[in-house]
Amino acid sequence: MKKAVLAIVCMIAFATVKAQNVKVGVKAGLNVSSFNHQKYILPDDGFGVEHALDPRVGFHMGLSLEAKLGKSFSLQPEVIYSQLGAGSNKFDVSLDYLSLPVLAKFYIVKGFSFSAGPQFSFLLNKTTKFMNVDFNPEIENFDVGAHLGLGYKFDNGVFFNVNHVIGATEIIKQRMQNRNNVFQVSLGYQF
């Protein structure tokens, strides 16, 4: 399935290169990520005590390809490196992904846009610690989610985005209700 998703994203990206009015962009920014279930019973508890998890602050950076398909509509696939996770004073999960959002982008008024679409993410690296000691829970290598965003693009090509990505995949297989949830703020430039 992963190869099929990657092939579809690549076909969309190459097909949009042939379209008129295609622009390449670069972007980077801040991630504030967590899991949708913010309390966990950790292995040392024995008493079933739940611990609250704090968001992980990380960054993202990558490339976008925007193909204008109409006056106010574009297709925008992206390739993004993104740091996600969550933690507490006892438990920390750091997850690094290569994310491939495929976004439908609607320009509401000049410069302002709304975007939505699926996001496919491949796990590149994981660090999991319990009481500052490495441990190895089974982490899902692939995540799919919904990507929603608002943006503004200036006439000179500089753009600003605020995104929310809601994961649909259970990330830590031994725990229920632990999907990725990330807010992103991006600054970029479109050539």
DSSP reduced 3-state for 110:
coil
Q: Which residues contact 26 (CB under 8 A, 6 or more apart)?
A: 61, 62, 63, 64, 188, 189
Going by C-alpha positions, the residue among 99, 94, 82, 90 that lies closest to residue 55 is: 94
Q: Which residues contact 54 (CB under 8 A, 6 or more apart)?
A: 34, 86, 87, 88
- The token pair at 113 is 């846009």
What domains sit in the chain, N to C, each tagged with a CATH number?
A: 2-190 (2.40.160.20)
pTM over 0.75: yes
Q: Tell me: the pLDDT tens digits for 16-73?
A: 455 568 999 999 999 999 887 655 555 554 445 566 678 999 999 999 999 999 999 9
